[in-house]
C-alpha cells in the first residue's frame, strides 16, 4: 500500500475519484449502507449532543439518509442543511424527503468546502466523505467557520488499513474481495486511513481531542444483510475496477456474489466483516 493514500499531506493533490460512481446502483447502495451503518451514525450524533431545535449542517448527503436521521433528532423546531457535490444524487434525496413529508431538511448542491451560508450552525456532521477530499484537515478548518461557539463536529469515516487483518485461509472469496476493495480505493486516491486519521484531522484543525469508537458490522447467519450489501458495493465499484484493470465483471460475477459469500461464510463458520469505520466527535471551543 502506498503512503500516498494515507493521511500524509495531500494539499497539492486533487480529490479522489468518487470510487463508487454516480449510477442508480450507487443511490441504492447508499440506502442499503444506511440500514447497516445507520444505527452507529445515530448513536454518534446522540452522544455528541445533537438535540431538538438545533441547526445542523450535513456534508456529503448522498441519498439523504444521514439528513433524514438528523431531521428526527432536531425535530420540527430544528433544521438540517445537507450539501452534496453531486446534484443528481440530491434529486433522489429531495424526492425521499418529499415522499416522507418532512419540512425541516433543505439540500444544496455544491462543494461543502466552498458553499456559503447566511446563518451559523450548532453542529456539522459527515459520513464517509472526508476520505474523498485531498486535504481533509483544510476542509475541516473551513467547515468549522460555519459553527456557533461550542458547536459540535461529528464524523464517521471508514478505516481500510485494518481490513486485511480479517483475511483467513478458509475464506478465499472474502480475501479476494478485500484485496479488490483496497486496490480500487488506493487507485482512486481516497484516504484508506480516514477513520483512524480523524484524530489527526481534528487535532490539526485546532479542535480538542475527539471521543472516538472503532466498529465493524459482522455476521455469519444465512440471512445476514451483509452478503447483499457487499454485492451492492461491487455493483458500484465495477466500472472503476474495470477501468483500473483490477478484475473483470465475469470474475466478480455480481449476480451470484451474495450466494457465494453466504456459502463460504456458512462453511467456514467464521463471521464476515464489513469495512470497519470510526466515529469521532468534538466541540469548537468558545474563544
Ligand atoms: C460515500 S457517499 C456517503 C453519502 C452519505 N453521507 C451516506 O453515508 O449515506 C459520499 C458522498 O459525498 C459526496 N461528496 C464528496 N466530496 C464532496 C464535497 N467536496 N462536497 C460535498 N459533497 C461531497 C459524494 O458526492 C457522495 O454523495
Which of 108, 68, 115, 73 has the alpha carbon at shortest distance from 89? Answer: 108
CA 171–ligand 1 middle distance (angstroms):
32
Which of 138, 141, 137, 156 has the alpha carbon at shortest distance from 58? Answer: 156
Instruction: State how far the alpha carbon of 30 is from the alpha carbons of 35, 66, 169, 258, 285, in Å.
Output: 9, 10, 31, 17, 33
What global pTM score does this model have? 0.93
CA 99–ligand 1 middle distance (angstroms):
22
Q: Are 21 and 239 in contact (CB under 8 A)?
A: yes
Residue 199 Cβ inside 6 Å of ligand 1? The answer reads no
The H or E element that residue 81 is part of is: strand 79-84
From first to last of its 287 residues, the chain has per-residue pLDDT tens of: 445 556 644 444 788 777 666 667 777 788 778 888 999 999 999 999 999 999 999 999 999 999 999 999 999 999 999 999 999 999 999 999 999 999 999 999 999 999 999 999 999 999 999 999 999 999 999 999 999 999 999 999 999 999 999 999 999 999 999 999 999 999 999 999 999 999 999 999 999 999 999 999 999 999 999 999 999 999 989 999 999 999 999 999 999 999 999 999 999 999 999 999 999 999 998 66
Residue 85 Cβ inside 6 Å of ligand 1? The answer reads yes
The CATH number covering residue 204 comes to 3.40.50.150
CA 130–ligand 1 middle distance (angstroms):
8
Own/partner long-range contacts of 164-173 (Cβ < 8 Å, ≥24 apart):
166/273, 168/268, 168/270, 170/267, 170/268, 170/270, 171/264, 171/265, 171/268, 171/270, 171/272, 172/264, 173/260, 173/261, 173/264
* Residue entry with cell 463508487: 20
Residue 22 Cβ inside 6 Å of ligand 1? The answer reads no
C-alpha cell at 14: 486533487
Residues in CB range of 274: below 8 A, 6 or more apart: 36, 216, 217, 218, 226, 229, 230
Split into its structural domains, the chain has a count of: 1
d(C-alpha 79, C-alpha 120), whole Å: 12
Residue 112 Cβ inside 6 Å of ligand 1? The answer reads yes
Within 13 Å, how many C-alpha atoms sit on residue 281's CB side? Answer: 20
3 state DSSP class of 213 = strand
Task: Give me the domain span that covers residue 155.
Answer: 3-283
Mutate-to-test residue for ligand 1 from 85, 92, 107, highest number of ligand atoms within 8 A of CB: 85
Amino acid at each position: 500500500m502506498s503512503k500516498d493514500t494515507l493521511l500524509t499531506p495531500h494539499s497539492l493533490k486533487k480529490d479522489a475519484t468518487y470510487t463508487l460512481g454516480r449510477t442508480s446502483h450507487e443511490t441504492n447502495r447508499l440506502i442499503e449502507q444506511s440500514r447497516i451503518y445507520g444505527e452507529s451514525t445515530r448513536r454518534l450524533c446522540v452522544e455528541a449532543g445533537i438535540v431538538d431545535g438545533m441547526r445542523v449542517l450535513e456534508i456529503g448527503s448522498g441519498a439523504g439518509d444521514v439528513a433524514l436521521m438528523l431531521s428526527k433528532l432536531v425535530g420540527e423546531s430544528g433544521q438540517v442543511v445537507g450539501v452534496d457535490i453531486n446534484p443528481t444524487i440530491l434529486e433522489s434525496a429531495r424526492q425521499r424527503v418529499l415522499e416522507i413529508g418532512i419540512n425541516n431538511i433543505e439540500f444544496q448542491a455544491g462543494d461543502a468546502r466552498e458553499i456559503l451560508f447566511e446563518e451559523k450552525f450548532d453542529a456539522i456532521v459527515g459520513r464517509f466523505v472526508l476520505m474523498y477530499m485531498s486535504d481533509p484537515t483544510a476542509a475541516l478548518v473551513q467547515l468549522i467557520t460555519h459553527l456557533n461557539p461550542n458547536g459540535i463536529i461529528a464524523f464517521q469515516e471508514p478505516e481500510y488499513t485494518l481490513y486485511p487483518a480479517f483475511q483467513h485461509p478458509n475464506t478465499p472469496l472474502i480475501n479476494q474481495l478485500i484485496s479488490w476493495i483496497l486496490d480500487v480505493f488506493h487507485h482512486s486516491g481516497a484516504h484508506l486511513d480516514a477513520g483512524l486519521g480523524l484524530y489527526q484531522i481534528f487535532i490539526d484543525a485546532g479542535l480538542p481531542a475527539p471521543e472516538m469508537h472503532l466498529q465493524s458490522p459482522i455476521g455469519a447467519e444465512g440471512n445476514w444483510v451483509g452478503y447483499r450489501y457487499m454485492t451492492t458495493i461491487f455493483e458500484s465499484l465495477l466500472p472503476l475496477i474495470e477501468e483500473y484493470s483490477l478484475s473483470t465483471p465475469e470474475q466478480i460475477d455480481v449476480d451470484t456474489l451474495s450466494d457465494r459469500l453466504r456459502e463460504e461464510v456458512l462453511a467456514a463458520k467464521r463471521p464476515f466483516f464489513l469495512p470497519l469505520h470510526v466515529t469521532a466527535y468534538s466541540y469548537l471551543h468558545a474563544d
